[in-house]
Amino acid sequence: MSVGELAPNQVQTLPVPAAQAGSADVVLSLNVSSWSADRVGTFGFNRSCAQGCDPFVVTFAVGPADAQGDRTVKVSFPNRATPAPNCAGHYGIPHGCEPGRPRGAVRVLQGEDLTARFMTDGPLMEVFVQHGRIAAALFTKQVGALQNASALHVFNQGEGKVSELVASAWSMGCGWAEPPQGVHV
């Protein structure tokens, strides 16, 4: 599904039923190669809760293109969720496990789309940027995280429009006990 254009400070809810937002597999893709060399932007993804838990939030600050057309994207997790136990040694996460600190930066090469995959499953969210060049696992101890997850959102925190953002979302369930739920967007 094409998200279309996100104006500055705009939030768009993905069309995933609230009952399935707590356990979803979401892929976002943004064609930053089509942007002018000096264009920058900040956008993100979150899973919100109706009550009883903090949202999971991930932001992407896309920098200008360098002489080769590559861009550096800073990925951060500004919410109060906690990185998963032992995360300093997993997935190559730099800078330890401090919540709210940038987890590093990833280079998006000329001709590549910026891609991010989010697997939310109750109190846990796994994030894979550029097919695992940056990856993280976050969790919350709040018991309402699965029952009260209500929506999946994309948002624009930058000063300019974010366009050409594409989202796909699938419901997840117990693979051996439930049939797959299918694609939502």
Instruction: Assign domain 2-171 to its CATH architecture.
Output: Sandwich (2.60)
Mean pLDDT, residues 62-74: 96
pLDDT at 119: 87
33 has a pLDDT exceeding 50: yes
Q: Is-above-0.85 flag for pTM?
A: no
pLDDT tens across 110-150, in order? 999 999 998 887 777 888 999 988 888 777 666 555 555 66
Long-range contacts of 94-101 (CB under 8 A, 24+ apart): 100/76, 101/76, 101/77
> Do the bridges between strand 149-156 and strand 41-49 make them parallel or antiparallel, or are there none, so unpaired?
antiparallel
Does the pLDDT value for residue 64 go beyond 90? Answer: yes
pLDDT at 181 over 50: yes
Cα–Cα nearest to 181, from 48, 25, 13: 25
Say what the alpha-carbon torsion angle 170, 26, 10, 36 is, to the nearest 10 degrees. -130
**Better-predicted residue by pLDDT, 8 or 173:** 8
Average pLDDT over residues 48-75: 85
Q: Give the residue-averaged pLDDT of 55-79.
A: 89
Q: What is the pLDDT of residue 147?
A: 56
CB-based contact 92:146 (threshold 8 Å):
no
| 3 state DSSP class of 23 | strand
Would the pLDDT of 48 be above 50? yes
The one-letter code for the residue type at 43 is F
* pLDDT (0 to 100) of residue 160: 86
Instruction: Name the residue among 113, 124, 114 with its Cα closest to residue 24.
Output: 124
Q: CA 166, CA 45: separation in Å to the nearest integer?
A: 12
pLDDT tens sequence across 157-173: 888 888 888 988 887 76
Predicted pLDDT of residue 103: 63
